[in-house]
Amino acid sequence: MDVLTTVDWTPVWRILLAAGLALPIGLEREVRGKAAGLRTLLLLAAAAGTLGWLSVTAGEAHPNSDATRIASYTIAGIGFLGAGLIFGIRGRLYGLTTAVAAFTVTAIGLTAGMGYPLAATALTVVALLALRPADWVKARTYARWTRAEATLHVVVSPDGGLDRIHLAVAGSRAELRALEFTPLEDGRLVVQMTVRGKDDDIEDLSHRIRAEDGVLGLATVAGAAQTIGD
């Protein structure tokens, strides 16, 4: 019992606080199926909390040393991890928000570990508001004025199906950004189209293409406005 009362539990509570604050952010990323999910962000925040506490403790034990050195190197190190979460496809960036989330939980962990629980909690609240409710606000306010990108995969027959797709695009308000073709052995053609426009314009184009003769199938990949930066 004497051991329990003499042990300094400060680092334990700070590390648990860092992990606890990262938990809802990790859950949000996990639900969305992102690469850096619950376990990644939980461990990252706990490790940052440990290093934050160590940075403060080492600075107190060695007054002539720089107490922020460990924390600064931690921030620099997370930059390499964040860079690995970002990738580009055809000029579009993916994983940017997940990388920022990883940077954020590192800051939460360091802040909690260095003994500023209120600041760490405030950052957690801001991060959660930015990740989830911000989408709700966007969908009900300025989303109608924003433009998204979507990729349409269309299977057409060999007898003029491609010409009809061009006519459908020309008659819509969506902008054609990229076009690729993949011929199949039976003569059919798979057309991959990247289009840009308002959600209603992209939906209208999809209906137009489906209604054309010679179109045998159509699939739509989620728009870039919803996935870019995630």
Residues 112 and 202 in one domain: no
User: Per mean pLDDT, which range of 19-23, 119-123, 203-207 is the poorest?
Assistant: 203-207
Cα-flanking dihedrals φ and ψ of residue 197, to 5°? 165, -175
What is residue 30's DSSP assignment?
H
Higher-confidence residue of 13 and 197: namely 13
Of 87, 115, 140, at which residue does a domain stop?
A: 140
Number of compact structural domains in the chain: 2
Q: How far apart are CA 162 and CA 214, in angstroms?
A: 8
Claim to verify: residue 131 and residue 151 sit in the same structural domain? no
What's the pLDDT tens digit per position in 87-115?
665 555 677 778 888 888 999 999 999 88
Based on the domain organization, do 87 and 127 belong to the same domain? Answer: yes
Same domain as 43, residue 154: no
For the cut 60, the answer to whether the pLDDT of residue 224 exceeds it is no
Check residue 78 and give its pLDDT. 83
Query: Mean pLDDT over all residues of the chain?
Result: 77
Shared domain check, 129 and 152: no
The predicted pLDDT at position 228 comes to 37
Question: Looking at the structure, do residues 131 and 70 belong to the same domain, yes or no?
Answer: yes
Return the axis-axis angle of helices 10-31 and 96-113, rounded to nearest 10°: 170
Give the residue from 105, 140, 175 where a domain finishes: 140
- pLDDT greater than 70 at residue 223: no
pLDDT confidence of 140, banded at 50, 70, 90? Answer: low
C-alpha distances in Å from residue 202, one per residue of 60, 76, 216: 60, 41, 19
Q: pLDDT for 55-88, tens place per residue?
A: 888 777 667 767 677 878 888 888 877 777 776 6
Q: Are residues 127 and 23 in the same domain?
A: yes
| Structural domain of 215 | 147-227
Q: What is the CATH number of the domain that holds 175?
A: 3.30.70.60
| 133 and 153 both lie in a single domain | no
Residues 128 and 153 in one domain: no
> Which among 56, 45, 48 is positioned nearest to 73, based on CA atoms?
48
Given 108, 140, 172, the domain boundary residue is 140
pLDDT digits (tens, 9 = 90+) for 34-52: 767 788 888 889 989 998 8
State the Cα–Cα distance between residues 37 and 29, nearest whole angstrom: 5
